[in-house]
């Protein structure tokens, strides 16, 4: 009993964000159906689900971009959130180079007394995500898809986030770029830089990992470690047995039968 | 050469108008609000006409109608599936025609009454309403514009970087805790204020030109938002002074001369930026 109480207490202290019974409707269509979810420190959660499952809506609610129709949203006071939106397009109407973009809305502690130290921290941040520092002088609208995604990640990290929220961060990348991006994210997770919540369609990568996966179809169908829930009936119901079979990487899995 | 008082007051007004329109104009260009500006200024005509019939300053009437119009527009946008520019076109020309009808009605009345409209300073010839009367500004009105310019510059400098981020990507700005809705409303308010204070001098049809042409010219040479802000203020001041000079030389109305000058600057910079090797 005491163990349980301590465990619960630790959970509460490490909680960063919690949503309860979040419901979203749009013109009488149910987008999200009473979803409850909480994110703790050092957690890595991936949200998967078919098109129209409400993944983006859920992620926008977590990132404070959208307000739900009903339900509670709680954020740890003074939490810093780094966010990478699903679509990002820089209109060339607005002239801006990467350095200027990265320096917009930096948290106060980050602003050094001298411009030089701010610039050094920018160079450091850019190199951390595997970009060349010369990119800082490039116009934002001239970046390639892969560069842009890394610049957005760099920007999110400059917010000194407690929580990094990403909506399909690899969709505009080629296969190699996707792998590199996931390695980068995984290393952030291993270094315990921040908690991570992301939407992904790369099931073969996501389901092979031991990180938490939430399968969403308007409500949370199932959740758990990726390599475990791939065998769950709810997952198979949503993605179909063929796909679930293809994703499953363990050979013994084929001998399993679900009822 | 001795500068005539009319030219001096026109010049002073032009300087403050530039300080007011150039920074706001950057956001008008970035957020594609040119149509919105046009619509607001068209709606200001009705305000000016009502104010003139009530013997109130034109600026107050223009401010009230353009604020009301902006509010109406933002709310109509939420309840219709029509595209933004279609909606703006409907409301802008609708309000322009209401303004013109009201104006002709008021004009008939005052002509019938005493024919005194230009003596008390509240009557407005239609061409002045449409194209402005920079050569007839009072120092009180210039003071109002100076205050407006100060307020506008202060607000824009305060929200500068946050508003830029919100213009680039609203979702990103929201996630980082920026009050994007507040910024949106402040920009709309500044737009209404700018139109209200400037419409008397540059006219309903030319206000948007001042908001758009200098920042658009600045975009051709700027590499980041700060440069665009600086360049558009310089270009705006330059074409303002050029325009006042031009109108004195060729005896043309001031406001169109200013717009014409800024057009020359725009094409000059366009030519230079096309001839210069791309970097």
Nearest one of B16, B38, B4, B235 to B145, comparing CA atoms: B16
Do the strands A44-48 and A195-199 form a parallel or antiparallel pair, or are they unpaired? Answer: parallel
**Maximal CA-CA distance, chain A:** 66
Q: What residues have CB less than 8 Å from B134, skipping those under 6 apart?
A: B10, B13, B14, B201, B202, B244, B253, B254, B255, B258
Number of other residues whose CB lies within 10 A of the CB of residue B113: 9
Token digits of residue B259 = 């717009």
**Please, which residues bridge with residue A222 across strands?**
A215
Q: Are the Cβ atoms of A105 and B32 closer than 8 angstroms? A: no
Q: What is the pLDDT of residue A258?
A: 44
Q: Among B28, B20, B17, which Cα is nearest to B213's?
A: B28
> How many angstroms separate the CA atoms of B196 and B43, rounded?
10
Q: How far is CA B221 from its chain centroid?
A: 23
Q: Is B161 near chain A, with CB under 8 Å?
A: yes
What values do phi and psi take at B64, rounded to 5?
-65, -45
Q: Which residues of A touch B178 (CB under 8 A)?
A: 105
Q: What pLDDT does residue A63 have?
A: 92
On whether any CB of chain A is under 8 Å from the CB of B164, the answer is yes
Q: What is the largest CA-CA distance in chain B?
A: 66
Chain B neighbors of A165, CB-CB under 8 A: 175
User: Minimal Cα–Cα distance from B170 to chain A, Å?
Assistant: 9
Per-position pLDDT tens, chain B of length 279: 566 777 888 899 999 999 999 999 999 999 988 888 888 888 888 888 888 888 888 888 889 988 998 888 888 877 777 777 888 888 888 888 888 888 888 777 766 554 444 444 445 577 777 777 777 778 888 999 999 999 999 999 999 999 999 999 999 999 998 999 999 999 999 999 999 998 888 888 888 999 999 999 999 999 999 999 999 999 999 999 999 999 989 988 888 999 999 999 999 999 998 887 655
How distant is the Cα of B56 from the closest Cα of chain A, in angstroms? 40
Cβ of B185: how many Cβ atoms within 10 Å? Answer: 14
Rounded Cα distance between A160 and B203, Å, is 50
A78 in contact with chain B, both atoms CB, cutoff 8 A: no
Average pLDDT over residues A87-104: 91
The residue among A209, A226, A200, A206 whose CA lies nearest residue A53 is A200
Residue B121 has what pLDDT?
45
A116 has a pLDDT exceeding 80 = no
Which residues of chain A does B78 touch, with a Cβ-Cβ cutoff of 8 Å? Answer: none
- Contact of A64 with chain B, judged by CB distance below 8 Å, is answered with yes
**B175, A93: Cβ pair inside 8 Å?**
no
- Minimum distance, in Å, between the CA of residue B119 and any CA atom of chain A: 47
DSSP label at residue A162 = S
The chain A residue lying nearest B164, using CA atoms, is A104
Residue B120 has a pLDDT of: 44
Q: Are A105 and B223 in contact (CB < 8 Å)? A: no
Q: Do B228 and A105 touch (CB under 8 A)?
A: no
Q: What is the pTM of this model?
A: 0.85
Residue B144: closest CA among B184, B187, B194: B194
- For the stretch A5-27, pLDDT in tens is 777 777 777 888 999 999 999 88
Q: What per-residue confidence (pLDDT) applies to A51? A: 86
**Contacts of A208 by beta carbon, 8 Å cutoff, 6+ apart:** A226, A227, A247, A249
Sheet holding A70-75, edge to edge: A29-40, A15-26, A70-75
pLDDT score for A192: 81
């Amino acid at each position: 009993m005491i163990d349980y109480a301590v465990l619960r207490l630790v959970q509460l202290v490490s909680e960063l964000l919690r949503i309860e019974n979040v419901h979203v409707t749009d013109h009488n269509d149910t987008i999200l159906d009473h979803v409850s979810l909480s994110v703790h420190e050092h957690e890595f959660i991936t949200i998967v689900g078919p098109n129209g499952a409400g993944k983006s809506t859920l992620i926008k609610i977590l990132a404070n971009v959208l307000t739900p129709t009903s339900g509670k949203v709680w954020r740890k006071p003074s939490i810093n959130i780094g966010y990478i939106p699903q679509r990002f397009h820089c209109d060339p109407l607005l002239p801006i180079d990467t350095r200027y973009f990265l320096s917009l809305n930096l948290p106060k502690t980050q602003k050094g007394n001298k411009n030089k130290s701010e610039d050094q921290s920018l160079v450091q941040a850019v190199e951390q995500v595997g970009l060349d520092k010369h990119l800082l002088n490039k116009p934002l609208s001239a970046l390639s898809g892969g560069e842009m995604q890394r610049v957005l990640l760099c920007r999110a990290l400059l917010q000194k986030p407690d929580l990094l929220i990403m909506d399909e961060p690899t969709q505009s990348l080629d296969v190699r770029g996707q792998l590199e991006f996931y390695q980068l994210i995984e290393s952030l997770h291993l270094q315990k830089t921040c908690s991570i919540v992301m939407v992904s369609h790369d099931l073969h990568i996501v389901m092979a990992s031991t990180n938490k996966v939430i399968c969403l179809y308007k409500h949370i169908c199932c959740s758990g470690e990726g390599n475990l829930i791939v065998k769950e009936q709810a997952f198979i119901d949503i993605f179909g047995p063929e796909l679930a079979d293809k994703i499953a990487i363990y050979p013994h899995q084929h001998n399993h039968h679900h009822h | 050469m001795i500068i005539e008082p009319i030219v001096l007051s026109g010049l002073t007004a032009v300087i403050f108008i530039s300080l007011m329109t150039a920074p706001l104009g950057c956001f008008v260009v970035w957020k594609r609000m040119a149509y919105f500006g046009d619509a607001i200024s068209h709606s200001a005509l009705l305000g000016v006409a009502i104010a003139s019939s009530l013997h109130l300053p034109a600026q107050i009437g223009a401010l009230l109608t353009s604020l009301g119009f902006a509010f109406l527009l933002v709310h109509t946008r939420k309840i219709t599936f029509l595209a933004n520019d279609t909606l703006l076109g409907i409301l802008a020309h609708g309000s322009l025609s209401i303004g013109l009808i009201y104006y002709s009605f008021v004009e008939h009345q005052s002509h019938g009454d005493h024919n005194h409209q230009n003596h008390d300073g509240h009557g407005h010839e239609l061409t002045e309403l449409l194209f402005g009367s920079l050569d007839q500004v009072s120092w009180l009105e210039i003071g109002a514009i100076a205050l407006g310019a100060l307020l506008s510059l202060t607000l824009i400098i305060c929200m500068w970087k946050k508003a830029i981020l919100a213009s680039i990507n609203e979702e990103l700005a929201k996630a980082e805790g920026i009050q994007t809705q507040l910024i949106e409303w402040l920009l709309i308010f500044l737009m209404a204020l700018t139109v209200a204070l400037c419409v008397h001098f540059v006219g309903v049809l030319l206000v948007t030109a001042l908001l758009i042409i200098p920042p658009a010219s600045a975009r051709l040479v700027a590499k980041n938002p700060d440069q665009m802000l600086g360049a558009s203020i310089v270009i705006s001041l330059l074409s303002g002074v050029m325009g006042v000079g031009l109108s004195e030389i060729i005896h043309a109305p001031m406001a169109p001369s200013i717009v014409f000058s800024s057009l020359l600057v725009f094409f000059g910079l366009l030519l230079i930026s096309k001839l210069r090797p791309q970097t």
